[in-house]
Amino acid sequence: MGKEIVIIGGGIIGLSCAYYLHKSGHQVTVIDQSKMDGGASYVNAGYLAPSHLIPLAAPGMMKQGIKWMFSDKSPLYIKPRLDLQFLKWSWAFNKSCNQAKVNKAIPVMKEIAVLGRDLYNEIKQEEGFNFQLEKKGLFMLCQTEHMLEEEGHLVDIAVKEGLVARTHSAQEIQQMMPNAALKIAGGTYFECDHHTTPDEFMSELKTYLINAGVIIKQEEKVIDLAVTGGTITAVQTDKAQYKPEEVVLAAGSWTSALSRKLNINLLLQAGKGYRVQTKATTGITYPSILAEAKIAVTPMNGFTRFAGTMEIAGINHTINTNRVDAITQGVQNYFPEVQLTNEEKDAAACGLRPVTPDGMPYIGKSAKCKNLTLATGHAMMGWSLGPSTGKLVQEIIDDVKPSMNMELFHPDRKF
């Protein structure tokens, strides 16, 4: 007999949870405070990327972040502020930036990313979806020999983990993208990665869920959670009250504010990312990350998207034009013939990605609440890990053996 389940959050994580929980026979209601047509689930680079093995909290990242703090055009911008949650997060982030933790994270990140990639393929086949899903791999394009050497180390790590990856010369990459003018020293190539057009999948998934009987409440904000004896008894929104048997908290960057109502203090910061795109012909036919500039380039269905930057500056949707300019200039440095127009730059959008101190998501149950499952904190990997997170949440709620070891994702872990 299925349970009544409320999922708070209607982004890629929340909808993926809804998909697998519905498939498992539960009655699911999704509540989201937005119109569910924007934000991180819609403006991301669309990568399904097992290649992204190294979490954000890597050795040297805090030192680099402090250097970048003085430029709002830098790839990672951490805005200093006197906020207790931010200070706690920063302290834990600094402690997490060590090689031992990264080494432990690498095989786990690979496993959950491969699972996510394969589940996208499975959903597409099973439901007859038409969203773009291309298996063209991912380039890391480098302008310096130093960066090429660094990226070569990541290829070695990926190959050890059983992924297909290799290094290419500038000439070889130019041959693979003959219609794009390239200014690079060479690059690495991860054949294991796939890519999508996010809007297409989100649209098809929402339509599927509604037709399947999942209730989706848009523009409805959760304002309180009633708890008795460590169990959520009611979810109160600005429009209604719900009394589910289980609650999934997948509200992205807003999760920590809601979790504190349950005395669960999740360390989580919003990391703003930007995207600019063009319908003009670019000649870019392979997804590529511009290694020095930290900009993602994706040939999507009908347009090319340029996405990047991580701005940790609290919850806000303000577009910083300096960061948009940094993306467009960065793109031109690698692809000299790609010139984005003022109209395209003015149409830039942003999304907030929830970032944990160690770069690993929170997936699982806290000891402080019996009928709550957390699913958040995926940082830049939310799109890649949507279906795998949804599958794991369904396995947790159904109390069956999970598809993988989830120890590193535990919401109560210490930093």
pLDDT value of position 65:
63
- Return the SS3 of 404: coil
Render pLDDT for 31-81 as a digit per residue (tens, 0 to 9): 999 999 999 999 999 999 999 998 877 777 666 766 666 666 677 777 888
Question: Is residue 312 within 8 Å of 269, Cβ to Cβ?
Answer: yes
Q: What are the tokens at 45? A: 């680079």
Tell me which residue range forms the domain holding 288: 4-409
Domain count, the chain: 1
In three state form, how does the secondary structure of 179-243 look?
CCCCCCCEEEEECCCEEECHHHHHHHHHHHHHHHCCEEECCCCEEEEEEECCEEEEEEECCCEEC
**Cβ contact 112:376 at 8 Å:** no
Cβ density class 356-379: b for 16+ within 10 Å, e for less = bbbbbbbbbbbeebebbbbbbbbb
Residue type, 164: V
C-alpha angle 154/136/309, rounded to 5°? 55
Asked, for residue 414, whether it belongs to a domain, the answer is no
**Is the model's pLDDT at 20 over the cut of 80?**
yes
- The CA-based angle 260-391-387, given to 5 degrees, is 90
Does 61 map to a domain?
A: yes
DSSP alpha helix (H) spans, 3-98? 12-23, 40-43, 61-68, 84-96
Q: Which of these ranges, 12-16, 111-115, 325-329, has the smallest mean pLDDT?
A: 325-329
Residue 359 resides in a domain: yes
What confidence tens digit (pLDDT) does each residue in 114-173 have? 999 999 999 999 999 999 999 999 999 999 999 999 999 999 999 999 999 999 999 999
User: Per residue in 169-221, pLDDT tens?
Assistant: 999 999 999 999 999 999 999 999 999 999 999 999 999 999 999 999 999 99
Query: Hey, is 128 helix, strand or coil?
Result: coil
338 within domain boundaries = yes
**pLDDT at 115 (0 to 100):** 98
Residue 76 to residues 63, 68, 142, 271: CA-CA distances in angstroms? 11, 7, 18, 9
Strand duo 241-242 + 231-237: pairing: antiparallel
Tokens in use for 290?
């511009």
Q: Is the pLDDT score of 328 beyond 80?
A: yes
Categorize the per-residue pLDDT at 414 as very low, low, confident or very high, splitting at 50, 70 and 90: very high
Write phi, then psi, for 168 (nearest 5 degrees): -125, 150
Distances (CA, A) of 48 to 19, 135, 191, 236: 18, 9, 11, 35
Question: What percentage of the chain reaches a pLDDT higher than 90?
Answer: 88
Q: How, if at all, do strands 165-169 and 288-290 pair?
A: unpaired
Asked if residue 102 belongs to a domain, the reply is yes
Residue 305 DSSP code? E
Give the residue from 237, 287, 370 showing the smallest Cα distance to 49. 287
Helix axes 99-127, 198-212, angle to 10 degrees: 60
Decide if 415 is inside a domain: no
Structure tokens at 55: 């979490």
In terms of DSSP bridges, do strands 288-290 and 138-142 run parallel, antiparallel, or are they unpaired?
A: parallel
> Does some domain include residue 148?
yes
CATH assignment at residue 185: 3.50.50.60
Distance CA 364, CA 341 (A): 45
219: left (phi over 0), alpha (psi -120 to 50) or beta: left
How many residues does the structure list for the chain?
415
- Note whether 79 and 193 are within 8 A (CB): no
- Assigned domain for 154 exists: yes
Single-letter amino acid code for the residue at 168: H
23, HSE (Cβ side, Cα atoms, 13 Å): 17
